[in-house]
Amino acid sequence: MNRETLKALLDTEDIDPSVYSLDGGMLYEAYVLERRSSDWAVYYSERGLRSGEVVFETEDDACSHLLDLLLRDSATRRQL
C-alpha cells in the first residue's frame, strides 16, 4: 500500500481528513505519516508533541499501521 491507496481507503471508510496527515507535520490532534530520509514514521501529533511514534522501513508497513489506527479510533469518522 502507498499513500495514494491509503487516501482512497480512508475516503471510502469516511475518515475525516482533518484528523490525519499523509505528508508529515506537527498538526493539532492528528495522526501523521511522515516520510524521512531512510524510513517512515507514524505518530499522533498533539500540542507540538509526538505520541506513540513507530518507525517503519517501508511505506507499505507505515500505511497499514496508520490505517489500523484510524479505523480503530471511532473519533476519526466524519460527523454528519
- What tens-digit pLDDT sequence spans the chain (80 residues)? 999 999 999 999 999 999 999 999 888 899 999 999 999 999 999 988 999 999 999 999 999 999 999 999 999 998 76
Q: Quick count: other Cβ atoms within 10 Å of Cβ 35?
A: 14
SS3 label, residue 72: helix
Residue linked to cell 507514524: 42
Q: Give the model's pLDDT for residue 80.
A: 64
Integer Cα distance of 28 and 9 in angstroms = 23
